Amino acid sequence: MRCRHAAFTLVELTIALAIAALLTSTAIQTWSRHHERAQRAAVQAALVSTMVEWERQYARTGDSSASASVPNHISGYHLITNPCEDRALVHCVEVVAQPVHPGTGCGSLILRSTGERFTQIGNARQPASRACWP
């Protein structure tokens, strides 16, 4: 009687590892997109919060040059308040979230006190798309 050892062959092991690698790469890509969207949502909430704080200070003091307290807990972004480029400070202020690493697809997220939303990559500013501002 012949004794046969039960084991995996090299081909079977290679196929199993290839399938595991494929599933892992798909999971990492999905997680990465989800993480980016979650971080962008946190930044959008911080932009709105900063804008509300600026408007509250303006309503309380009447001073449009008073800077709002900018939260510094948003990882991956710097938040800055500026007057709008084409309007007087009394009429418009904008909060800009600049990414620390410029690899994000949306670039800087900009919220104006007029309700306008923009994205800016380099010097090109454009109205925000639904992918960047849902």
Question: Are the C-beta atoms of 110 and 118 separated by less than 8 Å?
Answer: yes
Q: How far apart are CA 117 and CA 94, in angstroms?
A: 9
pLDDT attached to residue 107: 87
What Rg, from alpha-carbon coordinates, does the chain have? 24
pLDDT digits (tens, 9 = 90+) for 76-124: 888 888 888 777 666 788 888 888 887 667 888 999 988 899 998 888 8
- Grouping H, G, I as helix, E, B as strand and the rest as coil, residue 30 is helix
Its pTM stands at: 0.71
DSSP 77-129: EEEEEEE-TTS-TTT-EEEEEEESSTT-SS-EEEEETTS-EEEEETTEEEEPP
Question: Are the C-beta atoms of 81 and 110 separated by less than 8 Å?
Answer: no
Among 97, 24, 95, which residue's Cα sits nearest to residue 55?
95
pLDDT attached to residue 67: 61
pLDDT digits (tens, 9 = 90+) for 41-84: 888 998 998 888 888 888 888 776 656 666 666 778 888 888 88
